[in-house]
Structure 1
């Protein structure tokens, strides 16, 4: 790694271009920023003696440009941590099974988008679906993913020959 930061082209506020040095780069939620040093004169003592100095500022990609043929591989680079992929969320619904005379004889837990799901205003999350599945006479639908998702967690399985579940 070189002790001298690599050159970078800088556009000044009045439109002029100057050569600066790239000390670091940082990724932000809004894009990249470049910690750039621009050479300038500065007072070096109380007598008014002037010597070389450097003005450092964070610049945007519109204000700082790479120089052709220059490698920036050794520049300190801070990237944002990788974002976590969205977690799948499951929604479920409970279908009440009746005996034909209106008496509830059991329940079937469906994935909310299942064609047999009784869609309504109340979706259940996975924990609520597991609670519903733990009730006597409850089973998970085998037509949708409810059985695949819930049965391994609940420890309950229903034989594949069940006519609806």
Structure 2
């Protein structure tokens, strides 16, 4: 089974369960984490609703395998080096609202370019995997980030 096609159950905060695609897994400081993708509806151009895939890293307590599923082809990342998330470089995210003729978007900035709460490297890379999220051209955020590999 190709990577990204393994299916899992994601348990939402209110107890609802959704099927999702499992893209990769990693051993975090507090146990296993899984990068899953859920397809949801989003307002698109002209106010139409369009399906869009949202990805997120979740702790093992929020993800359950589907009985009989084959997870052998799911990529497994090595643990992040100690202190990686606490690197000296930090970023922020700016949400640009939806307006007629232009869907909403998000920009990832090097900290100081735009106000916002600081995020770490993993959060910046994860944000850039989301639809309509791009690095800021003014502060050249893309040059400060390694590829999402």
TM-score computed with the length of structure 1 as normaliser: 0.45
Q: Which has the larger radius of gyration?
A: 1
TM-score computed with the length of structure 2 as normaliser: 0.49
